[in-house]
């Protein structure tokens, strides 16, 4: 897998790749362009120059829903959910790609569409159990504690069956206990064979989770390497960890 961008002011001549089965972190100070990178990969914005290549295919300039279909699914930095739905409904709705039925089948409940619906429900249950939100499955999304909302955000993205999962600050706003649980979840998702690229400000968790870390500053890559290498890199310390406190 190769991804390559360049030319955008917010992301400047950035070039990096993620291989199948990796768990890569993307870090950098606020405004470094991390979320922009996600938006570029998933087609929410288009690069002015450069290419996004996924599984050897150029997916630059494709619409977000088509990119999701190829297997790249993202989460959002601000908790984005279907807030009027229950927890389970959120996941069922997100199983859209697995449940594409034709128009008439959906309306007249043909046996084929019913079978598919059943499959979707089973799948949604599996995901709810996998992320540990089983006790909340009929809970309205609105009143859910923040930590669970973030987890549900990840669950929704899992429903689309990603090969490459892009997590935008999955741990933001969580307390220590919630962070531990989310880190375990992310690792388990990775163990199931999903490639993960994540943006994170929680340094300790990011260093702990990721095999490789890419550091961005002002839209440029200043370094990349294993957590140890990155930690030792002088430029990184100067740009980002400068004050000496390693955890946020």
User: Any idea which residue has 């504690």 for tokens?
Assistant: 145
Contact region for other proteins (CB under 8 A) — 18-26, 103-111, 122-130, 205-213?
103-111
- As to burial, measured by CB atoms within 10 angstroms (0-12 exposed, 13-18 middle, 19+ buried), residue 84 is exposed
**Which of the stretches 9-17, 46-54, 85-93, 207-215 binds other proteins when contact is defined by CB under 8 A?**
85-93
Q: Which residues, in sequence order, are CB contacts of 20 under 8 Å at separation 6+?
A: 1, 163, 195
89 vs 223, which CB is nearer to other proteins? 89
Among 108, 111, 193, 234, binds other proteins (CB under 8 A): 108
CA distance 119 to 163: 20
Binding to other proteins by CB under 8 A, coded x per residue (else -) over 148-177, reads: --------xx-xx-----------------
From the list 169, 171, 147, 200, the residue with the least C-alpha distance to 77 is 169
Applying CB under 8 A, among 32, 94, 186, 189 the residue interacting with other proteins is 94
Interaction of residue 146 with other proteins, rule CB under 8 A: no
How many other C-beta atoms can be found within 10 angstroms of the C-beta atom of residue 146?
Answer: 13
Q: Which of residues 112-141 bind other proteins (CB under 8 A)?
A: 113, 117
Query: Applying CB under 8 A, which of residues 10, 53, 106, 237 lies at the interface with other proteins?
Result: 106
């Amino acid at each position: 897998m190769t991804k390559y961008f360049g030319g955008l002011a917010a992301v400047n001549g950035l070039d990096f790749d993620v291989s199948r089965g990796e768990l890569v972190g993307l870090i950098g100070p606020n405004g470094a362009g991390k979320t922009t990178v996600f938006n570029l990969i998933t087609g929410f914005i288009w690069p002015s120059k450069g290419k996004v290549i996924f599984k050897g295919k150029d997916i630059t300039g494709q619409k977000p829903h088509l990119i999701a279909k190829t297997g790249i699914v993202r989460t959002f930095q601000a908790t984005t959910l279907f807030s009027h739905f229950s927890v389970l409904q959120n996941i069922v709705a997100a199983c859209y790609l697995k449940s594409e039925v034709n128009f008439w089948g959906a309306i007249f409940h043909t046996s084929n569409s019913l079978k598919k619906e059943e499959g979707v429900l089973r799948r949604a249950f599996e995901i709810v159990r996998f992320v540990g939100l089983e006790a909340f499955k009929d809970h309205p999304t609105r009143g859910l504690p923040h930590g669970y909302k973030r987890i549900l955000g990840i669950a929704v993205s899992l429903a689309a069956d990603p090969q490459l999962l892009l997590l935008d600050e999955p741990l933001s706003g969580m307390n220590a206990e919630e962070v531990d649980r989310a880190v375990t979840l992310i690792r388990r998702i990775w163990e199931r064979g999903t490639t993960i690229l994540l943006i994170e400000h929680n340094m300790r968790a990011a260093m702990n989770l990721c095999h490789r870390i890419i550091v961005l500053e002002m839209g440029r890559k200043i370094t990349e390497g294993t957590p140890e290498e990155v930690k030792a890199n002088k430029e990184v310390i100067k740009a980002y960890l400068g004050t000496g406190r390693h955890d946020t």
